[in-house]
């Protein structure tokens, strides 16, 4: 089981689809904030998933991130997620992102454990046309 203080790290390269100009979250060719957040969530998810029972996963419930420095196309970015609090259902993380010049984003992220099949069924039942 994952313990307080456990960490995970992901390293990625900024590609064209990850740019603010590509994602329509801005008009500049820099790493888009929505992608920074997505990689932060992925980093936290990857820390938890191996220790979860079959049929259980986690979903993001809260993200609070400051994107404080731009990163260009082609740059390498390292994401970290550290588990700082857990009650076995909710998991809170300190998340950070760095490029070669230093910290580019920091914040917190919370995930909740759910029964995967039940969660998807509940979502699908909201709409008759699906």
Q: Is there a contact between 83 and 92 (Cβ–Cβ < 8 Å)? A: yes
3-state secondary structure of 94: strand
Which pLDDT value is given to residue 126? 87
| 93-113 pLDDT tens trace | 999 999 999 999 999 999 999
- pLDDT beneath 70, residues of the chain: 128-130
Q: Is there a contact between 93 and 8 (Cβ–Cβ < 8 Å)? A: no
State the pTM of this model: 0.94
Q: Could you say which DSSP state residue 30 is in?
A: B
Which pLDDT value is given to residue 129? 65
Burial of 45 (0-12, 13-18, 19+ CB in 10 A): buried
Which pLDDT value is given to residue 130? 56
Pairing of strands 90-99, 7-13: unpaired
CA-nearest of 25, 29, 50 to 38 is 25
| Consecutive H or E run containing 121 | helix 116-124
Query: Which residues pair with residue 72 across a beta bridge?
Result: 30
3-state secondary structure of 6: coil
What is the total residue count of the chain?
A: 130
Whole-angstrom Cα distance, residue 83 to residue 2?
8
């Amino acid at each position: 089981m994952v313990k307080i203080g456990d960490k995970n790290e992901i390293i990625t390269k900024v590609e064209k689809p990850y740019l603010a100009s590509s994602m329509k979250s801005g008009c500049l060719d820099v790493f888009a904030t929505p992608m920074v957040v997505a990689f932060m969530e992925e980093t936290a998810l990857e820390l938890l998933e191996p220790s979860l029972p079959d049929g259980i996963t986690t979903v993001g419930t809260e993200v609070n991130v400051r994107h404080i420095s731009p990163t260009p196309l082609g740059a390498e970015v390292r994401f970290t997620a550290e588990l700082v609090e857990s009650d076995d259902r909710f998991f809170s993380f300190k998340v950070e992102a760095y490029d070669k010049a230093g910290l580019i984003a920091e914040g917190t992220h919370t995930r909740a454990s759910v029964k995967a099949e039940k969660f998807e069924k509940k979502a699908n039942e909201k709409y008759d046309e699906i």
